[in-house]
Amino acid sequence: MGKQTIYFRNKPQIISVSTVAGTKECEGIIGRYVENALSDDMYGESTYEKAECKMLRSVIDGAIANAELKRSDIDAIVSGDLLNQIISASFAARDLAVPFLGVYGACSTMAESLAVAAAFVDGGFCNRVVAATGSHFASAERQYRYPLELGTTRPPQSQWTVTGAGAALVADAATAKKDVKDDGIAITCATLGKVVDFGITDVNNMGAAMAPAAADTILTHFRNTGESPEDYDLIVTGDLGALGSRILKDLTWEKGLDVAANHVDCGEIIYNVIEDEFQGGSGAGCSAVVLNSYLHAKLMAGAFHKILFAATGALLSTVTSGQGESIPCIAHAVVLER
Amino acid sequence: MGKQTIYFRNKPQIISVSTVAGTKECEGIIGRYVENALSDDMYGESTYEKAECKMLRSVIDGAIANAELKRSDIDAIVSGDLLNQIISASFAARDLAVPFLGVYGACSTMAESLAVAAAFVDGGFCNRVVAATGSHFASAERQYRYPLELGTTRPPQSQWTVTGAGAALVADAATAKKDVKDDGIAITCATLGKVVDFGITDVNNMGAAMAPAAADTILTHFRNTGESPEDYDLIVTGDLGALGSRILKDLTWEKGLDVAANHVDCGEIIYNVIEDEFQGGSGAGCSAVVLNSYLHAKLMAGAFHKILFAATGALLSTVTSGQGESIPCIAHAVVLER
């Protein structure tokens, strides 16, 4: 109990998922597993922000529909996104009429929302909770960096914000048995992250900023559980990218933990030709899409039995960067077993 | 279980609190109960945002110190604020080295964070969790409205964002007995809010926008629990202000629930001479300060035995307002008993 790692004894389960992703995201291998591949990144909407909100709403509704349930069967939605005041999540929740807990963990939101959903289900407070997040390349660029119309060049350390969203419906074991007549993917444990800041101030180098947070949570997780990386089929990070992943492996190796053999980063695998996107994908939608499409399918098919899903988030804003602050980061990890 | 109202069976308790508030906030009656009354709203910092972050950090540390505990005794902090990317909470957490769950519920954050903290404690996942939030008049004006330097006039429906922060340390019953050798204030129940939007687009009339959300949650709470307003010493809303409070009373009365006799709004009581602040106080810090100073003191002294604390939040951003969207709002309610 406590001390960062918490255990879910009653087997809260992911009983259904749903994903949507943009044109660029669906060109790669991950794209084949995405439920709804967009042919238009605007998703028929008039603004980037409305497109992002529509993606999030569609995956929440998708996860509910995939379990053959109705919105009124859901006890709560735990969701957030990258936009100021998490407007995508709030406006999606407005249309759904389901109790809503807004969370903010930047790109760690998929892991944070899963941990909170699992706690509310495992604690006996709710039967069915949807955890969801997403991001949109264009809305993120406009808010955090430069409007796309400026045609700003990107430095080599930069990453590409994923246009996509993912949702997971978490239910208690008895409800799962009733709803889907099958075992889902159990969320057995979570290690809640601390905010870690190694003094990186380069807002185009998120991988380097976030790697120490990922290392801190992963090291804590293995110390607390007494497990080793070999106990997992995969140790998945969210969006460290190529450079950040190398830093993570170095940082953990220095502390005596070798994750190199089975580490994979969602940002590194989501795009087909990674050179075009520099260090790879990022954004709350990155790990949300990979988890709820590819990883979910592989877990359900028995290709993986147990994974550690550790999504990372950079907790900066344009104001903090403008005021000369470095970038505090966080990583939350959840254990998924089938 | 579920269906918006959840019950905490194991008596998670608020075992200590801490508050800080600005000069204007401490002129009124509530100010007498504030632990740390600032003589300078900049709190010795160089920017409004750093002052807000320092307030939040100081009340989290204050609540821990008031229970004679150390930071390392705390299993998690649940916190958020009004600023983009909840930087006050994230940067406060950076200095605390305690697992951090970022939440966003705008001005409903005190109720949302208390509900999440109570769930993590009651579910047996954590022993001690701090719920905290705050706001700063100047950082909120700059972000949501106009920089103070412009000297913009305010319309009569407007409210005044509270400069202040509050934190509550929630512990399970056994831990509480060990820590403070006394019963704290039990969090017995929570009704999680849905996002409600009545189509208000005037960003200077938050009270009118939020009142329907407050009415929805309060009506749901009484319907689900079978209780009536007379079962409570107070029905407290967060920051509806004078106009919003009148609308709430009308909306609930129309549905057959009369809350007029024991309703009080934190925004209506925080300032001494309410005419100067138009409709009263607002901001995440408003209900956080009133709950963790005045209301906490009165509950501990036995003046109140049971209150419904329903904080409301307006989930807009400058982008959604600019894109012509109306203002979605939410209210979360927690039951506090002594």
Q: Where are the alpha helices (DSSP H) in B145-265?
A: 173-180, 206-225, 241-254
**Is the whole-model pTM more than 0.90?**
yes
Quick check: B195 and A127 CB within 8 A? Answer: no
| Of B272 and B86, the one with more pLDDT | B86
Q: Which residue among B86, B127, B328 sits closest to A104, beta carbon to beta carbon?
A: B86
Exposure string of A156-194, with b = 16+ CB inside 10 Å and e = fewer, is ebbbbbbbbbbbbbbbbbebbeebbeeebbbbbbbbbbb
End-to-end CA distance of chain B: 23
Tokens 């008993």 sit at which residue?
B337
The pLDDT tens digits of the residues spanning B176-215 come to 999 998 889 999 999 999 999 999 999 888 999 999 999 9
Are the C-beta atoms of residues B254 and B294 closer than 8 Å to each other? no
In this prediction, residues B100-127 reach a mean pLDDT of 98
The pLDDT tens digits of the residues spanning B122-136 come to 999 999 999 999 999
Note the ipTM here: 0.96
| Set of chain B residues whose Cβ sits within 8 Å of the Cβ of A97 | 194-195
The model's confidence at residue A128, banded by pLDDT at 50, 70 and 90, is very high
- Give the C-alpha separation, B285 to B18, whole Å: 12
The model's confidence at residue B270, banded by pLDDT at 50, 70 and 90, is very high
Q: What is the DSSP string of B257-307?
A: ---GGGEEEHHHHSSSSGGGGTT-EESHHHHHHHIIIIIHHHHHTTS-SEE
The pLDDT tens digits of the residues spanning A244-289 come to 999 999 999 999 999 999 999 999 999 976 666 678 999 999 999 9
Exposure string of B231-270, with b = 16+ CB inside 10 Å and e = fewer, is ebbbbbbbbbbbbbbbbbbebbeeeebebeebbbbbbbbb
- Measured between alpha carbons, how far is residue A81 from residues A266, B33, B130, B228 in Å? 17, 37, 23, 37
Q: How confident is the model at residue A277, as a pLDDT?
A: 66
Mapping DSSP to helix (H, G, I), strand (E, B) and coil, where does residue A165 land?
strand
CA distance to partner chain B, nearest, from residue A140 (Å) = 12
CA distance to partner chain A, nearest, from residue B99 (Å) = 4
The model's confidence at residue A27, banded by pLDDT at 50, 70 and 90, is very high
The pLDDT tens digits of the residues spanning A94-103 come to 999 999 999 9
- For chain A, positions 112-151, list CB contacts with chain B under 8 A: 112, 115-116, 119-120, 122-128, 143
Chain B contact for A283, CB < 8 A? no
Quick check: A75 and B318 CB within 8 A? Answer: no
Q: How confident is the model at residue A196, as a pLDDT?
A: 96
In this prediction, residues B319-333 reach a mean pLDDT of 95
Residue of B nearest to A53 (CA): B320
Q: Which residue among B127, B143, B328 sits closest to A1, beta carbon to beta carbon?
A: B127
Q: How confident is the model at residue B158, as a pLDDT?
A: 86
The model's confidence at residue A1, banded by pLDDT at 50, 70 and 90, is very low
Q: Which residue among A100, A122, A316 sits closest to B330, beta carbon to beta carbon?
A: A100
Quick check: B125 and A98 CB within 8 A? Answer: no
